[in-house]
Amino acid sequence: MRASRHPCLVLLLAVLLPSLAAAQSVMQITTVPLRPGIWVLSGFANGNILVHDDGTDVLIVDAQSERRVGLADSALRALTARPVHTVVTTHYHDDHIGGNPHWRAQGARLIAQCNVAVQARKDTTITEWREWHRAPAPADALPAECLEDSLTLERAGDQAVLRHVASAHTDGDLVIWLPRANVLHMGDVLELGAPPFIDWWTGGSWEGMLAAVDAGLAIANAETIIVPGHGPPTDRAGMVAYRDMLQTVGQRVRDAVQRGESMAAIVAARPAAGYEESFGSPSRTDQFVQLLVVGFSRQSAVR
């Protein structure tokens, strides 16, 4: 990414000026221009929306939460009056598909990997992870079209290449590649400014996360703008650094689990040392380590 691009500036200012970061969270949606006709809309706690206006219509990647989709729509309408023709969903989590009914009502076609609808219909409570309740999504949030492995959508002057990366953040993740624009959306396989999440309960895995990041790195070159599921856009070097973190912290925790150490002992040993600043807060760091312990413990119980 060239030094003059906005994302670096936004990130730098957000780090240097806490008051600006606070102002952004009050405003809730920020718009970051990436290329001509391409932007990212970010609501800080919710998933990023990638907007591609090809001069004919608009494709967006992810839909925000039900609560904030109206704000996202207002931000989008400040950029373009063209209709949202296609919504590509990176995975089933609520902060990515909750806004789908809003866009569907405007006539958009909804596309996702085929496991998304399967997971989004479930009503389950994950007792081993903070009693996490996964409420079923409404029927009109579910994608009307699905793909198993890959699909290429023709765009005016470009393509949107949708690729399934298996068993990563969930069992239904897509990464989206705009080759001409050289923009890559990684979904929640890549999260910046907070620790990543692995949804072990829907087929996510640490190994799959690493493989999915590798698939993205195989696509990206030094000029690629890489959009994470959450957090500011980055470049290939940023994703390489993220991969190093994921590999190192995951390996430390997995080794400790395999040695039979307790959750408390593993957290106390600070296996995320060296990366904690990038996670935003000590409590988030601890949660990430706990999530890895829970997941690796599940894996060793199965084996």
Q: How far is the CB of 91 from Zn ion (least distance, A)?
A: 6
Q: List the structure tokens of 253.
A: 């925790």
- Residue closer to Zn ion (CB basis): 239 or 256: 239
Q: How far is the CB of 47 from Zn ion (least distance, A)?
A: 7
The pattern of x and - marking residues 69 through 108 that bind Zn ion according to CB under 5 A reads ------------------------x---------------
- Residue closer to Zn ion (CB basis): 79 or 211: 211
Q: Which positions ≥6 away from 2 have C-beta within 8 Å?
A: none
In the numeric block, the tokens 């729509």 are attached to 73
Cα separation, 25 vs 136, whole angstroms: 28
- Residue closer to Zn ion (CB basis): 54 or 188: 188
Q: If phi over 0 gives left and psi between -120 and 50 gives alpha, with beta otherwise, what is residue 275?
A: alpha
**Which one-letter DSSP state was computed for residue 230?**
B
Q: Does 230 bind Zn ion (CB under 5 A)?
A: no
β-strand pairing of 30-35 with 38-42:
antiparallel
- Residue closer to Zn ion (CB basis): 87 or 266: 87
In the numeric block, the tokens 């988030």 are attached to 284
The pattern of x and - marking residues 185 through 224 that bind Zn ion according to CB under 5 A reads ---x------------------------------------
Q: How far is the CB of 151 from Zn ion (least distance, A)?
A: 21
CB 161 within 8 A of CB 176: yes
Give how many residues touch Zn ion by CB under 5 A: 2
Q: Of 37, 42, 33, which is closest to residue 194 (Cα–Cα)? A: 42
Q: How far is the CB of 295 from Zn ion (least distance, A)?
A: 15
Identify residues 11-70 at the interface with Zn ion (CB under 5 A).
Answer: none
Residues in contact with Zn ion by CB under 5 A are 93, 188
